[in-house]
Chains A and B, each alone.
Chain A
């Protein structure tokens, strides 16, 4: 069974940093692009960042450029997301997403990031 398990969320002060991780299982991790999508409670879905299957290409929404870094370790089937200079408006549930690439995409259950003083 395909699974994506996010971790690393929590409470952080404005200007602080947080590193999210996503442990993947049940599929060939190295064959699929991955993304992070977030959702402010009560609001819509916002794609934040993506990475190619090899890790050679990365993509960011304007909201996170220069502050967020996506990476992956295919040997460990793990997706990472380093978030620096966090703002109150980054408060959201962050979802790890396996890209479809012609197959069904798959989402994790999410991890809550709260940026507050």
Chain B
């Protein structure tokens, strides 16, 4: 199975900060990586797919980069609504696997 390792597991930041979360795959996954945001009691919301593509409706302060094994999610200027938990997921092979999550706190 492909292991997905996120770092950090938690992060304290302030409104307006630039934040970067990293995700490392245990083997090459090309660009088959998605990033999700999840708030308590809600379903995960897609932020980035195919490593760097922003779905319609996602604010442009979110961006993704990387290919192969190393990926990053960047929030350019944190907004109050961005405080949540973030997950990466690979979709190059079954079983699909997720990172353990990064909790972004004030």
B36 partner residues in chain A, CB cutoff 8 A: 45
Report if A61 contacts B (CB, 8 A): yes
Report if B75 contacts A (CB, 8 A): no
Report if B89 contacts A (CB, 8 A): yes
Q: A104-B55, A105-B46 are in contact. Are A44 and B100 (CB under 8 A)?
A: yes
Q: Tell me the B82-101 residues at the A interface (CB within 8 Å).
A: 87, 89, 91, 94-98, 100-101
Q: Which residue of B lies closest to A96 (CB)?
A: B43
Residues on B facing A (Cβ under 8 Å): 34, 36, 38, 43-46, 49-50, 53, 55, 87, 89, 91, 94-98, 100-101
B34 partner residues in chain A, CB cutoff 8 A: 100, 105
Report if A26 contacts B (CB, 8 A): no
Residues on A facing B (Cβ under 8 Å): 35, 37, 44-47, 50, 59-61, 95, 99-100, 102-110
- The answer to whether B43 touches A108, judged by C-beta atoms less than 8 angstroms apart, is yes
Other-chain residue from B45, B50, B94 in contact with A102 (beta carbon distance below 8 A)? B50
**Bound Cα distance A50, B97 (Å):** 12
Beyond the given pairs A37-B96, A50-B96, 5 more chain A to chain B contacts, judged by CB atoms under 8 angstroms and listed by A's residue number, are A45-B87, A47-B98, A50-B94, A102-B50, A107-B44
B50 partner residues in chain A, CB cutoff 8 A: 100, 102
Q: A100-B34, A100-B91, A104-B49 are in contact. Are A47 and B43 (CB under 8 A)?
A: no
What are 30 A-to-B residue pairs whose CB atoms are below 8 Å?
A35-B96, A37-B96, A44-B100, A45-B36, A45-B38, A45-B44, A45-B89, A45-B98, A46-B98, A47-B95, A47-B96, A47-B97, A50-B96, A59-B94, A59-B95, A60-B95, A61-B95, A95-B43, A99-B91, A102-B50, A104-B49, A104-B53, A104-B55, A105-B49, A106-B46, A107-B43, A107-B44, A107-B46, A109-B43, A110-B43
Other-chain residue from B49, B55, B98 in contact with A44 (beta carbon distance below 8 A)? B98
Q: Which 5 A-B pairs have the closest CB atoms?
A: A47-B96, A59-B94, A104-B55, A45-B98, A104-B49
Among B53, B96, B97, B100, the most chain A Cβ lie within 10 Å of the Cβ of: B96
